[in-house]
Structure 1
Amino acid sequence: MADLVTPGELRGLIAAPHPDVAPLPRATEHADGVRAIRGVPYAEVEGSRPLELDLWLPAAEGPAPVVLFVHGGAWRRGRRDDMGVRTRGWAPGPFERLAAAGLAVACVDYRLSGEATFPAPLDDLRSALRWLGLRADELGIDAERTVVWGESAGGHLASLLALTDDEPRLAGAVIWYGPADLTSPRPPFDPADAATPEALLLGGASAALPELAAAASPLRQVHADAPPFLVVHGEADSMVACSHGRDLADALRDAGAPVEWRAIPGADHGWHGASDDEVERIFAASLDFVRQHA
């Protein structure tokens, strides 16, 4: 007869292993010795789905620097394996390119605004950093040389992570067309509107939640000890005004923090309207920035 167990003991037996100790899924091999490990659980959140990340690991031996990639989607949607519409047709894709250049890449899930409000997604990114540090030896990475890279809403979260996390301190931040200010009117954003993506992130209109909106605004978190930033924004951005990126870069510079600012003439959100060559140059400049600082 099988040993009898209590319901509590049975729940413990059948539960999936905790992400801190769970075996890694099987890797798939790509060109140049790059390995991809998809759907790796990195955190368990009570009452929520397991949070996962995809790993792209380079062939080179020795601890590799890390890119922590944060996807966009207005904090409401999006996929961790998507760097934006202009890179979707690339072969090899952008993350495989980064790994082929000797970088490890962690593309992370975070809770969307339909699941939890701010600061939940920022807390999730911190959990991902913790997990990467915990499993660093096993993965062959150097988590202390991590650059966060985000686009659109992911750029907003990446900025906040770089500006508010001191332990471990990030090596840098690459911000593509990310919102920086959730407190002031910047068309099309209206802080009094309770139906904006920003309001859904906060749980109410920014104007009605001024302290929370300020805490969620990278522009309000700038300080002299910030890690190096590369901020890139299209001058014709119709969804997130170019002033977000320009003002963030100016504030970092005024505070004495290292920052590179690039405005892309004629480019709308997601690099719409930019030439293929221009998008390649933006990606190459971002890769060069990571290599320089990681």
Structure 2
Amino acid sequence: MTAEQVLKGIEFACPEASAPLLLDVYLPSAEHTGKGFPAIVHFHGGGWRAGERSSLGPVLDGFGFSPFRRLTDAGFVVVSADYRLSTTAQFPAQLEDAKAAVHWLRDHAQDYSVDPDRIYAWGDSAGGHLASLVGLAPGDAPAGADGDTPGEVAAVAAWYAPADLPRMGEQCLPNAVARADDPGSREELLIGAVLAEAPGKAAAASPVIYVSPAAPPFLLVHGTADRFVPAAQSTSLAAALEAAGADVELLLIEDSDHMWILPDHSQAAAEKAMDATVDFFLRQSHVP
């Protein structure tokens, strides 16, 4: 396989009182030619307070396989974008940045031979939360969304993503490492308030409340042993999407913790999740 071309550090937005936001563009390897490539915008995890656009986390990085390379080899353009962290700005700043990255790609689609009708979103953990919101929350901001307007992208894949912030604490496993209702939780830092004391803010940051029949196709992948984001978050979102008549696929990987950690420390869960994600996007894009 021929190595793909990577264009790094492209500025796509500069929010007020913030450093410029950057993205990287991964172009399909040389055997893929022509115009109108499907494209995937990826958002990284890290609890909204850490992480890097080039990474899917230390565990997956340690496995040594490249998820972006898997997608470019399959004929996709991949864009991996920054967003403001909760140490800098509270929600909905992160969603505004995620949508700005999608808008940038749409505006520059011709420059990278991208088909603007086949732009998708993907994210892991906090990034999966943002990808889900990009697909579901209409307009320029989540507040006041009527749920009847399509989102920004044609399909979404989300790995172990928060989907219903008010219910995260009650859904946690008994051996949870982190709980949304803990003082100083990642979710509390995201919305700037204790979840129980700010139900409106917690709901506004929850993809599940924006589900409507206009939702794009979704792939939700989660480990049943996730001690950070309970798998019930994905099952709840899947149930809401199905009830709305939307196209949703739910893959639960037995015994897998967050970041696809298995008891035997193999990368089998990560490979299964990646295979499912590539297959999902190929089917959405109708690429042979």
Answering whether residue 114 of structure 2 is matched by residue 141 of structure 1, we say yes
Deviations 1:254-289 (A, max 9, x none): 111100011110000110116323321220110010
2:22 — aligned with what? 52
CA deviation map 1:71-113 (0-9, x unaligned): 0000000000112334314556211221111000000000000
| TM-score normalized with structure 2 length | 0.86
1:272 and 1:53 map into 2 onto residues whose CA distance is 28
Partner of 1:293: 284
Is 1:178 matched with 2:178? no
Are 2:211 and 1:222 aligned? yes
1:64 aligns to what?
37
Gaps of 5+ in 1: 1-30
Counterpart of 1:278 in structure 2 is 269
Residue 250 of structure 2 is aligned with which of 261, 264, 268?
A: 261
Cα distance in 2 for partners of 1:112, 1:191 equals 17
Residues 1:211 and 2:184 aligned together: no
Displacement, 1:194?
4.2
* Paired letter, 2:51: G
**In structure 2, what is the equivalent of residue 151 of structure 1?**
124
Partner amino acid for 1:35? Q
Q: Does 1:242 align with 2:231?
A: yes
Q: How many residues align?
A: 264
1:123 counterpart SS class: helix
Deviation at 1:222, TM superposition (A): 1.2
Q: Take 2:150 and 2:230, find their aligned partners in 1: how far apart are those partners?
A: 31
Q: 1:190 to 1:98 in 2, by over 3 A?
A: closer
RMSD across aligned positions (CA): 1.8
CA distance in 2, matches of 1:216, 1:168: 15
Cα shift at 1:142: 1.6
- Check 1:93–1:192 CA distance in 2 against 1; reply closer, same or farther (3 A cut): closer
Equivalent pair of 1:151/1:175 in contact (CA under 8 Å): yes
Report which stretch shifted further, 126-135 or 81-90: 81-90
Quick one: distance in 2 between partners of 1:110 and 1:206? Answer: 22
Cα distance in 2 between the residues matched to 1:152 and 1:282: 13
TM-score, normalized by length of structure 1? 0.85
> Is the contact between residue 35 and residue 57 of structure 1 (CA under 8 Å) also seen in structure 2?
yes
SS across alignment from 1:160:
helix
Q: Secondary structure at the match of 2:221?
A: strand
In the TM superposition, residue 168 of structure 1 has moved relative to its aligned partner by 6.4
Structure 2 residue runs of 5 or longer lacking an equivalent are 139-148
- Find the partner of 1:100 among 73, 83, 87: 73
* 1:7-46 deviation per Cα after TM superposition (whole angstroms, max 9, x unaligned): xxxxxxxxxxxxxxxxxxxxxxxx5252100111001111
Task: Mark the CA change 1:272 to 1:90 in structure 2 (over 3 Å): closer, same or farther.
Answer: closer
- Give the 3-state SS of the residue equivalent to 1:37 in structure 2: strand
Structure 1 distance, partners of 2:183, 2:60, is 32
Matched residue, 1:26 = none
- Secondary structure, counterpart of 1:183 in structure 2: helix
Q: Distance in 2 between matches of 1:167 and 1:271?
A: 31
**Identity over aligned pairs, percent:** 41
CA distance in 1, matches of 2:234, 2:113: 34
Q: Which stretch of structure 1 is more off in the superposition, 207-216 or 161-170?
A: 161-170
Offset, 1:220: 1.5
